[in-house]
Amino acid sequence: QQQVKQSPQSLIVQKGGISIINCAYENTAFDYFPWYQQFPGKGPALLIAIRPDVSEKKEGRFTISFNKSAKQFSLHIMDSQPGDSATYFCAASRAGTALIFGKGTTLSVSS
């Protein structure tokens, strides 16, 4: 049973464009939703995270939008740059459990 579904699997965006990655979850007990960024051959690193008591969180060019009723959250990357080319993972957790990850989205930003 896949508890966190992520789409698309891959994404190609032009430099300066907006990249949007979506995730849906099933367990309403989840209370923490982070996004991780991973470059080839490296471990993932936390990019931005949100809790369900807010609908949006912005850090620089990265924004999480959260829709509690739809059980969905998304990552928006504004003004996408070639350096943003990486694999992005959404995740979810609740107290007492480890993170559950989506399958990842490979983003390529073309210059």
Partner 1 sequence: DGGITQSPKYLFRKEGQNVTLSCEQNLNHDAMYWYRQDPGQGLRLIYYSQIVNDFQKGDIAEGYSVSREKKESFPLTVTSAQKNPTAFYLCASSPRLAVSTDTQYFGPGTRLTVL
Query: What is the binding site for partner 1 (CB under 8 A)?
Result: 6, 9, 31-32, 34, 36, 41-46, 49, 51, 89, 93-104
Closest listed residue to residue 77, CA positions, set 109, 33, 41 = 109
Least distance from partner 1 to the Cβ atom of residue 48, Å: 11
Nearest residue (CB) to partner 1, 29 versus 78: 29
Least distance from partner 1 to the Cβ atom of residue 4, Å: 8
Least distance from partner 1 to the Cβ atom of residue 98, Å: 5
Long-range CB contacts (< 8 A, 24+ apart) of 38-45?
38/86, 38/87, 38/88, 38/89, 38/104, 39/86, 39/87, 44/89
Instruction: Report the sign of the C-alpha dihedral through residues 94, 98, 104, 108, in that order.
Output: positive
Least distance from partner 1 to the Cβ atom of residue 63, Å: 19
Nearest residue (CB) to partner 1, 62 versus 89: 89
Nearest residue (CB) to partner 1, 70 versus 95: 95
